[in-house]
Structure 1
Amino acid sequence: MSADRRTQADRSAATRKALLEAGRTLFGEIGYAEVSTAAIVKAAGVSRGAMYHQFADKRALFEAVLEDVERDLVRSIGSAVAAAGPADPVESLVVGCLAWLDASAEPGVQRIALLDAPAVLGWERWREIEYRHTIGLMEERLAGAMAAGRIPPQATRPLALVLVGALDEASQHLATGRESPEAMKSVIVQLISGLAGNTGGHP
């Protein structure tokens, strides 16, 4: 690749990064419906033409932002599990779910991934993206726990969807401040412990 092409590719990548960062900030702070393309390009420091060169429209930018949010959630969960170093797959599942709850309770993540995404992208597209990231990670962890004999064998996707639904609902309640994090986390631990046949609150 020539130096000119490298420079052009670098500029394009920098423009895309600036738009994603601006979009994530604005979508997270005031919501998709209230964000104009003019506000996005101003915050990103690029031209309107540069935005439409990278993304077909505001909706396409929002979808790319959601992908980034989902990837960050998966990274946060993975880092928490790696730091805890649990040997037991159910304990690993508990640590991951609690990390997910912490990360998804952040207001910007809430607004983008849980509130606006279904309305902006439609339920099927929203779920398709989640299947590639957070729901997919949940299925993987559940399958590992089943393979290790820690959770009775069953269909992983329905179980993953039920657990994800519980975590999403829990994070929304935490965002309102009406429930204590300790109480909500205790419920999540009990729920996962129950899957493994434990009732004492410990995996």
Structure 2
Amino acid sequence: MQEPKNDPPSARTRTPRSNRERTEATRHALLEAARALFVSKGYGDTSTPEVSVAAGITRGALYHHFVGKRDLFRQVLQRESQSVREDIVAATPPDLSPQAALTVGAQAYLRAMTVPGRTRLLLIDGPAVLGLSDALAIDEAHAGDTLYEGLTAALGDAPDVDIAALAKLLSAAFDRAALEIDAGADAQRVREAMGWLIERVLVASGG
């Protein structure tokens, strides 16, 4: 009688990946490959065949998950902006006062934007490729939303202040600060200047 095979423990316990896991793995590989190419070559000089080759995935699979290069780029930006939001949330635990959370979150944003390629993707190529309104919408749904929430909590019922308008103006200032740092400015001085600006906003509102 033939003896039963003694498969290695890893072979006996390994389970096949579900369709959802395979789908997520494929999307992840495509987004990672696309991000690297968009950063190194720019949107205009990156092609979907290059992305497919870099990801090790067929071009047909790419178009199964994304409508085209522009949709792929949009998804890269949304994921990048979501990562910025997650970094801000992680840096501002709930036991902080609203005023401290606003100050700490502001610095967390500037740190998050130093991830290589992030400033170019979100603040330069994003508006150029998608248009300013679409790029701003992505920001307002993620990092910009944390700024609005932080201002609302920190300022409370501050008189004569439109918090939504203030959030957009401060967001523009933070974006410019991130661009300055990315261009080689003294990061510490830029962060201190933005911290000063946030303090002035809190003082002016009585916060």
Using the TM superposition, give the Cα deviation of residue 8 of structure 1 relative to its aligned residue in structure 2, in angstroms: 3.3
**1:120-156: per-residue Cα shift (whole Å, max 9, x none)?**
1111111111121111111111111122x6x556211
Distance 2:19 2:49 in 1: 24
Rounded Cα–Cα distance in structure 2 between residues aligned with 1:136 and 1:153: 21
Quote the sequence identity (%): 35
Question: Is contact 1:66-1:112 (8 Å) kept?
Answer: yes
2:97 corresponds in structure 1 to 88
**Aligned match for 2:63, one of 33, 44, 52:** 52
Alpha-carbon separation, structure 1, partners of 2:186 and 2:21: 46
Q: Which has the larger radius of gyration?
A: 2
Structure 1 CA distance, aligned partners of 2:109 and 2:25?
Answer: 29
Higher helix content, 1 or 2: 1
8 Å contact from structure 1 (residues 81, 92) kept in 2:
yes
* Mapping of residues 116-195 of structure 1, within 5 Å: 116-147=125-156, 152=159, 154-177=161-184, 179-195=185-201
Divergent runs of 4+, >4 A? none
Instruction: List runs of 5+ in structure 1 lacking aligned partners.
Output: 1-5
1:110 has 2:110 as partner: no
- Secondary structure in structure 2 of the residue aligned to 1:168: helix
Unaligned runs of 5+ in 2: 1-16
Aligned partners of 1:73 and 1:97: how far apart in 2?
11
Partner of 1:3: none
TM-score, normalised to structure 1's length?
0.86
RMSD: 1.9
Instruction: Specify whether residues 49 and 186 from structure 1 end up closer, same or farther in structure 2 by C-alpha distance, changes over 3 A only.
Output: same
Q: CA deviation at 1:176?
A: 1.5
SS for the counterpart of 2:140 is: helix
Question: 3-state DSSP class of the match of 1:196?
Answer: helix
How far 1:97 moved relative to its partner?
Answer: 0.7
- On the 8 A contact 1:23/1:40 being kept in 2, the answer is yes
Q: What code does the residue aligned with 1:120 have?
A: V
**Residues in 1 aligned to 2:195 and 2:18: alpha-carbon distance in whole angstroms:** 51
Other structure's SS at 1:107 match: coil
